[in-house]
Amino acid sequence: MSIAQSPPPAAPVAETAKLHKRALGVPDLVFFIVAASAPLTAVAGGIATTYLVTGNRAVPFFFIPLGIVLALFVVGYAAMSRHVANAGAFYAYVARGLGKVQGVGAAFIALIAYNSMQIGIYGLFGVALG
């Protein structure tokens, strides 16, 4: 007579979705800060260069709607941060709220938008310095 052996009880599963203490080093933090300030840097650089090229005195007032949009974004980002426990960037937030496919789409849109802003700033500097 054979006796069926049951598998040993599984060990308790540790929470792996959370970031461990001291998991981020100095290079990680520097990269995070640079990545977080990239949109503001690109937009602020574009507005200043647009003012230089056009001489239009109303251009600095574009900082007002920019500040309002960023404030709304920050409120939503901070509210969502309670629900996202991993160290992912914008993709993690969109994937958690809308799904993985939409998260990948948002990541590619952000990549194209950042590159487009940078190319536009190069064009503005070319006009200003040329």
What are the pLDDT digits (tens) for 59-91? 878 888 877 887 787 777 777 777 777 766 778
What are the pLDDT digits (tens) for 98-122? 899 998 998 899 889 888 888 887 8
Q: Is the pLDDT of residue 47 over 70?
A: yes
Domains of the chain, by residue range, sit at: 26-129
- Distance of alpha carbon 105 from alpha carbon 5, whole angstroms: 48
- Distance of alpha carbon 96 from alpha carbon 92, whole angstroms: 6
Contact 18/86 with Cβ under 8 angstroms? yes
Supply the mean pLDDT for the chain.
75
Q: Which residue has the higher pLDDT, 7 or 26?
A: 26
What token pair was written down for 30?
């520097």
Nearest to 19 by CA among 95, 94, 84, 103: 84
Highest mean pLDDT among 10-19, 54-63, 75-84: 54-63
